[in-house]
Structure 1
Amino acid sequence: MASAAETSLFDAATIAARWMADYRAATPATDVLYAAGLDDPAWTAALEELAGRSGDDLGHARERAQRHAEDIGTGFRIAGEGEERPWPLSPVPLLIAKGEWDGIAAGVAQRAELLEAVIADCYGEQRLVSGGYIPAALLTGSPFFLRPMMALTPPGGFHLNFVAVDLCRGPTGEWRVLADQLRAPVGAGYALENRLAMARMVGGLQSRLNIERHAPFFAAFREGLAARCRRSDPRIGLLTPGKFNPSYAEQAHLARYLGLLLVEGGDLAVLEDRVYLRTIAGLKRVDALWHRVDPRMVDPLAFDSHSQIGVAGLIDAMAAGEVVIANSPGAGLLEAPAFAAFLPRLCTRLTGEQLRLASVSTWWCGQPREAAEVAADLDNMLIAPAFGVGTNVLGDGAAVLGSNMPPDQRAALVADFARRPQDYVGREVVRLSTMPVITESGLAGRPFTLRVFAARGPQGEWHVLPGGFAKIGEHPDERAAVMGEGSWSADVVIYGPQSVAPVTLLASDDTTQLRRNPGTLPSRVADNLFWLGRYLERGEALLGLVRSLLGHSISADTGAALSAETVQRLVDTLGQAGAAALPASLKRGDLTRFAAAAMDGTDGWNSVRTVNRQARGIGAVSRDRLSADMIKLLDAPFPSKGGALDRAGTLQRRYYALAGLGAEHLGRTDAWRFHDLGRRVERAMAAIRAIRGFGHVQATSDDLSTLLDLADSQISYRQRYLTGIARVPVLDLVALDPGNPRAIAFQVAAIADHLAKLPVLSDDGLAEDQQAQAAALAAIIATTQAASLDELKLADIANRLSSLSDAIARRYFLQGAEPLRAAGLVLA
């Protein structure tokens, strides 16, 4: 009798065999699975592993892959859209045998070295131009030729440190280059995330196929950047344009994985030709930047003076050899499709070899003969902008198939082509190979392209990521595969007969210097985490008011609704918070509509929805600091089902979960301290507002019960006092009891403790302003009696808290054009 394991394997094998037997591709001759054979052991193993995890339901397999990608936090944004989309991961990987891959990798490395030589000449002696190998118009006519980079030798001597190459597989199995990505290559993080998700999906495939690992590639890249820095223990940052960049989620993941600082232009400053990061401990030197910013925007003094995302003086620091920039600004010159027409000749000239990976046939129309050929064969060519940017006709920069153009566009193209032929290239129409993907009707072939990555190692050698990621078209049309709505990506698996060592980015124990200091905290990050804490507490306080207004109470003996006076105070408190316009009356219908407005209001109201959106926005720029679970909770849709009371309860429980994650999953670092500081400041302010509204001298039992509800202290009070509700004991519990985590005293003590442990800028032993203010406030709280806690005293505490918050901001957060040499500013 077969064992359970044998039965399970048999079932998976049967399912996989059926999938392969049912598989269909529009053109079997160009499909990778048909080329390998429908009985190929590698593809059989991949589909068996998939069947073993998801059974016979292909739709379930796709859902599982999506769920794993979302758990990792993978996302992307289409340009112009505000919301991120989930990363579309296909559960079926692209399989490439090690022998075939070695040829691809050698071709990519050769191409990267060729591009380095060409770009060095273009910004150096320009012998290729003077010798007639490159038309001068390819430099002077390109918007990506940056003249300030002329004669500038990058630190370490290399313009290119990280490149991407888009490949396609032809009808006979040959691989060719569609495009080179040099300015700010996107996708290595997606390749990594695809691999992480697929490892969860089909973990057994690693040992069955001896899959090449990604970690050595990323380790080599990180070591290569460090080797070109002047300091032995350099500080390296990933320079991002910010959260609205389409690949921001990928950038955050890469920064976290590689141990890089995720920084924006505003985080950096150049002083005496050195680049510094603005941190809570002063200015800290940055030695290298891997940038994802448009190179024309990286330095407003050198390039585009309107740039708001660059760093003034960055190119001067690079010219002085004080900062490595990967890739060097100006390298995007060679991304122009027109250059592809000249690379074969340049390769022979510079290396004495033929290109191992040929480019798709390209004709630059700035030459009379080539222009005539393209014009004569327009219907059979792809017409593209010569320099990768839009023309008068191709406004968005996209390529068009000549035979598909409507008559009016065709006429406009012909006319513009006659006027400015140098703006266009003609390209061969590429027929792409197909690979298996899960569709509504089952496993089917879809066209794909492959993006491959290469990075320089510590000795200047090129390392090629074993794999990359495949972009899969939604439709069977084999002429295009464009990433966007309705398209998919897939992990790319390089497999072979030899076992693969389990290499990771973790250094060996004997080479790693132990450290309990988590590293540098940028001022912008501290600011974000502080306000994330404040917004979450602010939202929680508003939700408490809404729930109390709509009748929420844990007391079982109140029975009747709150008195009209207490209800009015709840309404007034919500109104003073700016949550919604005051209701016309205290009738139930008006109150219900008022509570709903306080939950959902827009148009300038500080409603729960508005506060939640602000917290969500901060979470979007804090992916490198927060756990995937926290990001997922922040990104969760605003509750829409049920009444206001039900939705308030749902959202408040979500906020409780976020508070728990922050308390238990964030390391006790300076980053956590700022997040908790924000929570403590906001919670103390909310407590003061509640006491002023419901703890006044004439407070009724309904008022005091509502105050205990808002302070989440009903149970604590009932356990401590068995004789009923009285004002002074309530005030002592919610304001002055240092053991109550909801009390003002507890918040002030926590604030003072955090500030005492944060960095200071001087070593004179004297308290800084924010520390002194916190100590003074703590002394006031410690010496105040509940019976004397009147309106005047509460107002004084509130003002001191507000002043303390301002002092924290002045000391630790970015203050616009603050002087770089402020008194006591630390440079390191």
Structure 2
Amino acid sequence: MASRAQSATSDPTAIAQRWIAEYCAHSPAADSLCAARGEAHTAWQAMFEELAAINGDSLNRAHERAQRQADDIGTGYRIAGESEERPWPLSPIPLMIDGAEWETIAQGVAQRAALMETILFDIYGEARLVEGGHIPASLVTGSPFFLRAMTHLDPPGGYQLHFFAVDLCRGPTGEWRVLADHLRAPTGAGYALENRLAMSRALGGLQSRLNVERHAPFFAALRDGLTTLCRRADPRIGLLTAGRFNPSYPEQAHLARYLGFLLVEGADLAVIEDQLYVRTIAGLKRIDALWRRLDPRLLDPLAFDSASQIGVPGLADAMAAGNVVISNAPGAGAAEAAAFSAFLPRLSVRLTGSELRLPNIATWWAGQDDARDYVRDNLDRLVIAPAFGGAPLGLPGGKPVLGADMTPGERDALIAELERRPQDYVGQEIVKLSTMPVVADDALTPRPFTLRVFAARGPDGDWTVLPGGFARIGEHPDPRAALMGQGSWSADVCVTSSRAVEPVTLLPRTDAVRLRRNPGTLPSRAADNLFWLGRYLERGEALLAVLRVLLGNSISADTGAALPQATLDRLIALVTSGNAAPPPPGTGRSDLIAFARTALEDEGGWYSVRAINRQARAIGDVMRDRLAADMMRLLDAPFPATGGLLERAGMLQRRYAAIAGLSAEHMARTDAWRFVDLGRRLERAMAVSRTLRAFIDDDASGDDLSTLLDLADSQISYRQRYMAGLARVPVIDLIAFDPGNPRGLAFQIACIAEHVWALPILSDDGLAEPQQARADEIAAIVKTVNAADLDAAKLDEIDARLAGVSDAIARRYFLHGGEPLRSGGLTLG
């Protein structure tokens, strides 16, 4: 009997059946799992069997495994107003939808996208709908999403919409209805992709077992659809982002990498003669299409919001000239407003001859007298929401509220505002959402959910719907849609099929791939960031080296300073000269430990190792599309919080070594790698020069020279070469002038010269560019100076020339505003 019971508890089928039975015993009958019948129930059963086969009888283990996969992919998001990213919350239980049910959803989404396209072409064109009284003029012109500058402008390619998203809810009886449309800059497709990648790792056998529809064909259609609309056969497409503080920036970086688009910001772009270009290290390169993830009002300060500092002046002109496709066209959000939902059912019948396959939730726009009166008289039975986004005075938080839950004072204030500015509000029916299972406290529990579905225009102009999208799951069991907010979890959505699903990938057939060894365009901003990433990493490592010598060799547990006062003063000066810490009051053990602690981990105004790490991490955040996941994990790793100072310093040193190893052994030798290494070599050369200046006085002691070798990581090299002991000139020669010492000054300068000569030449006159000439000059100095003649004056000259090389690189490649857009000899590609 015991063996039979043990077998039952380890059998995935038995575990899955028990999970489902226990869950449905206390869940709503309309729950997506409990209401499933036939093939739909079989899919849920198979999913739970896979879950049990991998994780046993532990749902917590399944949750941890799914979250770990999401974290490994690097999925994250940011709440508006926060500077730190949060990990993307992924439920281990996907929403299962059978193919027949999904076909109805997909047809409804495609119909809705086509209807939106027709409406947008009318309101920015002939305006027949307004003229005929089918929609009020104030619904269009009073919307902050309507951009008057776009009227009568034919978008390149002939479409207003290329990408569309819709939020759906499943009612208690199983019907699907539309909660909201997204046309301005729909977000979430990248999260749907990342959810699928994570769940494919967590539930590896499910995709083939249930013939789960794949995401790749949708993204291929999106990419090919934009490509087809461009004028060139091999176009360059960018994904335009507002930057790393945008809440969905990690998603945007992932999409850019997956689709092969350039991730660009407004500062990367320039319009010349109605043509859009991206600033790159090889000059200005033509951009043929932009997938816009920027608020359209900020897109062009000359055409829309003149206060925008993140847009591209002249972009609207380039679009009007037909030279750049923008997805979606600016102004598409005019049909996104909640107020528009009140008119869509009638518009669908008039424009398409058919009712909406996916009906809206019932909506009344208070901008019309009858609707205003209805909303006012039925507050207790409605959700009140902003008609055009924002936060009208009657809804200070800008979020939908249940009329029945308002206090008398809030109710009176809203009614007063409804009379004063009724056009700012809509009333909507209260919708109760269906539920799906999530894991909480090692058990399944029901939670309400919504489903975001995406559609993209393919190369044939037809709409392709992503099979699945992603589910947002509410934190609380209350099923009313108005209370769910943004949700607490996300879940993959698996659409199952009765037929085998072809293993489609975005990669073309191997025999159809055109060989190329050009790694592609490197925007100037990306080069700038990579250069400074290398500098910050090396800067942190150099400061850490001084602190480790100070902590390891300078402090005796019994007596305090183990090194002589002069050597100790030199070490302290290296730290204070970089503003890493204030000078210590003395050189006793407690003073030196407090001094080192400030330089290592201060979070205030001192330029500590922690502060430098924060700068490197900030750069990593904006370079997600170009850095490996392992590199991002090291940059994002928390600052060590346990162990003594020397132990924590050692942990950080090993982390720096791992990052350097990844750069050296895992980055392809492209221009991107060159800028990382160039920044590292420049920073190391400056650090070596500073260290030499501090320790090579004529009266340098043996302790000074030994410490200098420690800081330059050259003790072993010196001992192998010189058996007679420490001497000033041989130490200087090894650290300053030996071209074979990878920690020495000469080696860094040789690498700098090699890099600047290997980078793209922007002029065509055959002469050395400024950064090349300056690198050659400093290399010549290092080759001709005798070790015995090296002094502070010569090191000052080397420092100044290194700074000159850095400035020349910045002026030539990073285009910090002062560089002309079209320099002499510069060609436009």
Normalising by the smaller structure, the TM-score range is over 0.9
Counterpart in 2 of 1:91?
Answer: 92
Counterpart in 2 of 1:103?
Answer: 104
Distance 1:817 1:604 in 2: 30
Distance 1:559 1:385 in 2: 67
Counterpart in 2 of 1:741?
Answer: 742
Counterpart in 2 of 1:78?
Answer: 79
Distance 1:552 1:626 in 2: 36
Report Cα offsets for 1:676-711 as digits up to 9, x if no partner: 000000001111111111233221111111111111
Counterpart in 1 of 2:777?
Answer: 776
Check conservation: 2:472, 2:486, Cα contact below 8 A: no
**1:600-679 correspondence runs (5 A):** 600-679=601-680
* Matched letter for residue 12 of structure 2: A
Counterpart in 2 of 1:179?
Answer: 180
Report Cα offsets for 1:466-523 as digits up to 9, x if no partner: 1100000011110137787870000000001101111100012343321111111110
Counterpart in 2 of 1:505?
Answer: 506
Distance 2:130 2:243 in 1: 38
Task: Compute the displacement of 1:722 (Å).
Answer: 2.7
Counterpart in 1 of 2:144?
Answer: 143
* Matched letter for residue 641 of structure 1: T
* Matched letter for residue 714 of structure 1: Q
Q: Name the CA shift for 1:378/1:481 in 2 (closer, same or farther; >3 Å).
A: closer
Check conservation: 2:561, 2:587, Cα contact below 8 A: no
Check conservation: 1:468, 1:492, Cα contact below 8 A: yes
Q: Name the CA shift for 1:442/1:8 in 2 (closer, same or farther; >3 Å).
A: closer
**Correspondence 1:406 to 2:407:** yes
Return 35-44 or 648-657, whichever deviates more.
Answer: 35-44
Counterpart in 2 of 1:575?
Answer: 576
Counterpart in 1 of 2:359?
Answer: 358
Q: Name the CA shift for 1:793/1:75 in 2 (closer, same or farther; >3 Å).
A: same
Counterpart in 1 of 2:30?
Answer: 30
Report Cα offsets for 1:225-281 as digits up to 9, x if no partner: 011111111110000000000000000000000000000000000000000101111
SS at match of 1:125: coil
Return 28-37 or 782-791, whichever deviates more.
Answer: 782-791
Counterpart in 1 of 2:812?
Answer: 811
SS at match of 2:782: helix
Q: Name the CA shift for 1:658/1:25 in 2 (closer, same or farther; >3 Å).
A: farther
Distance 1:99 1:413 in 2: 44
* Matched letter for residue 411 of structure 1: D
Counterpart in 1 of 2:331?
Answer: 330
Check conservation: 1:551, 1:562, Cα contact below 8 A: no
Q: Name the CA shift for 1:396/1:641 in 2 (closer, same or farther; >3 Å).
A: same
Distance 2:482 2:421 in 1: 29
Report Cα offsets for 1:754-787 as digits up to 9, x if no partner: 1111101123322111111111211222223322
Aligned-pair identity in percent equals: 66
* Matched letter for residue 726 of structure 1: A
Distance 2:665 2:152 in 1: 53
SS at match of 2:34: helix
Distance 2:317 2:569 in 1: 63
Distance 2:417 2:491 in 1: 39
Counterpart in 1 of 2:227?
Answer: 226
Q: Name the CA shift for 1:235/1:554 in 2 (closer, same or farther; >3 Å).
A: farther
Task: Compute the displacement of 1:640 (Å).
Answer: 2.3
**1:692-703 correspondence runs (5 A):** 692-703=693-704
**Correspondence 1:390 to 2:407:** no
Q: Which runs of 5+ in 2 are unaligned?
A: 1-5
Report Cα offsets for 1:282-322 as digits up to 9, x if no partner: 11110100011110000000000000110000000000000
Distance 1:12 1:286 in 2: 53
Counterpart in 2 of 1:715?
Answer: 716
Counterpart in 1 of 2:319?
Answer: 318
SS at match of 1:751: helix
Distance 2:485 2:177 in 1: 23
Distance 2:714 2:66 in 1: 44
Distance 1:271 1:710 in 2: 50
Check conservation: 2:764, 2:825, Cα contact below 8 A: no
Report Cα offsets for 1:559-616 as digits up to 9, x if no partner: 9822221111100111111111111111111111111111123443221121111111
Distance 2:475 2:457 in 1: 34
SS at match of 1:321: coil
Q: Name the CA shift for 1:21/1:637 in 2 (closer, same or farther; >3 Å).
A: same
Distance 1:93 1:505 in 2: 23
Q: Name the CA shift for 1:334/1:19 in 2 (closer, same or farther; >3 Å).
A: same
SS at match of 2:492: strand
Counterpart in 1 of 2:17?
Answer: 17
Counterpart in 2 of 1:3?
Answer: none
Check conservation: 1:338, 1:362, Cα contact below 8 A: yes
Task: Compute the displacement of 1:643 (Å).
Answer: 3.0
Distance 1:80 1:445 in 2: 31
Task: Compute the displacement of 1:823 (Å).
Answer: 1.8
SS at match of 1:451: strand
**Correspondence 1:195 to 2:181:** no
**1:231-380 correspondence runs (5 A):** 231-380=232-381
- Structure 1's consecutive aligned runs of 4 or more residues displaced over 3 angstroms after TM superposition are 6-10, 24-27, 481-486, 552-555
Task: Compute the displacement of 1:541 (Å).
Answer: 0.5
* Matched letter for residue 84 of structure 1: E
Q: Which runs of 5+ in 1 are unaligned?
A: 1-5
Task: Compute the displacement of 1:794 (Å).
Answer: 1.6
Task: Compute the displacement of 1:395 (Å).
Answer: 2.8
The CA RMSD over aligned residues, in Å, is 2.0
Task: Compute the displacement of 1:820 (Å).
Answer: 1.7
Distance 2:754 2:668 in 1: 16
**Correspondence 1:821 to 2:822:** yes
Report Cα offsets for 1:94-118 as digits up to 9, x if no partner: 0000111011001100000000000
* Matched letter for residue 619 of structure 2: I
Distance 2:7 2:300 in 1: 63
SS at match of 1:452: strand
Q: Name the CA shift for 1:740/1:57 in 2 (closer, same or farther; >3 Å).
A: same
**1:202-213 correspondence runs (5 A):** 202-213=203-214
Distance 2:235 2:625 in 1: 20
* Matched letter for residue 44 of structure 2: W
SS at match of 1:444: strand
Counterpart in 2 of 1:50?
Answer: 51
Report Cα offsets for 1:5-53 as digits up to 9, x if no partner: x979962222222211221486522200011159922111111111122
Counterpart in 2 of 1:473?
Answer: 474
Counterpart in 1 of 2:135?
Answer: 134
Distance 2:200 2:371 in 1: 48
Return 654-663 or 12-21, whichever deviates more.
Answer: 12-21
Report Cα offsets for 1:40-84 as digits up to 9, x if no partner: 221111111111222222112111111111110100001111100
SS at match of 1:519: coil
Check conservation: 1:25, 1:31, Cα contact below 8 A: no
Q: Name the CA shift for 1:342/1:106 in 2 (closer, same or farther; >3 Å).
A: same
Distance 1:64 1:322 in 2: 47
Return 308-317 or 795-804, whichever deviates more.
Answer: 795-804
* Matched letter for residue 544 of structure 1: A
Check conservation: 1:183, 1:327, Cα contact below 8 A: yes
* Matched letter for residue 383 of structure 1: I
SS at match of 1:171: coil
Counterpart in 1 of 2:3?
Answer: none
Return 714-723 or 282-291, whichever deviates more.
Answer: 714-723
Return 229-238 or 40-49, whichever deviates more.
Answer: 40-49
* Matched letter for residue 475 of structure 2: E
Distance 2:513 2:167 in 1: 37
Task: Compute the displacement of 1:380 (Å).
Answer: 1.1
Check conservation: 1:537, 1:679, Cα contact below 8 A: yes
Return 252-261 or 386-395, whichever deviates more.
Answer: 386-395
Q: Name the CA shift for 1:276/1:370 in 2 (closer, same or farther; >3 Å).
A: same
Q: Name the CA shift for 1:697/1:162 in 2 (closer, same or farther; >3 Å).
A: same
SS at match of 1:96: strand
